[in-house]
Structure 1
Amino acid sequence: MKNLLHLLLLGVVMPVPVVQAQSAAKLAGAIASPNQRRPMQVVEAACGQCQLGLSGKSCDLAVRLNGKAYFVDGTHIDSHGDAHANDGFCQKIRQAQVQGEVLNDRFVATYFRLLPEADKVP
């Protein structure tokens, strides 16, 4: 009976980290692999509140497309380094290669890669 209880507890406790790891891998895979059949864009990326003039209560990733800023879904501001570092999204506007579309006044990213400072496109 004691062994059965241990097996049941392991069955309940062990799947939680596995589920979290799978969700993180799924999200990373969606952002890390560009779709060769969709157009790639180079956009300005920064904190929407600190740098791009959007309203909000906390620091959130945003991009500027065709002169208009949009908050980003599909990746997070902290997924691309420390937002408050000297080169972070809250301190300066950076450039990123992206794929995705604007839906409901938000940019839904299916690919997002922050460009190094040296790779800036004029």
Structure 2
Amino acid sequence: MRSHRSEIGERWFVVAAVGVICVATLTGCVVKPNLGQIDGTVTAASGLPATGCGITMVVISGGPVPELAAVTSAAGTFSWPVPPGRYEVTASCDGVPIHASVDVVADETVAVDMAE
């Protein structure tokens, strides 16, 4: 016959084990992956910033891109957080595509200069 004290000890062990598993599972769901970032500048043939250009990205290797598209600012710049990997970035300004291949590393920013 088991004592009342050993049953209480077993119950506390089970409760503690379940608690550890729950915390580990929830932490895994909340932790964000380490992203890198692409900071780009698009310049028009005139040398001025290319504003309002559509920016798209094709994943060559790496994780899915969290956004589908971006647009250059009035300064001709864009900033895009992405998972580590290799990407083909395309800027479409006035129907003329400009391409650049970019390798992104976690927790680092890659600068991309694109010119018409």
Shorter-chain TM-score above 0.5: no
Structure whose CA Rg is larger: 2
Higher strand proportion? 2
The answer to which structure, 1 or 2, has the higher relative contact order (CA under 8 A, 6+ apart) is: 2
Q: Shorter-chain TM-score: which interval?
A: 0.3 to 0.5
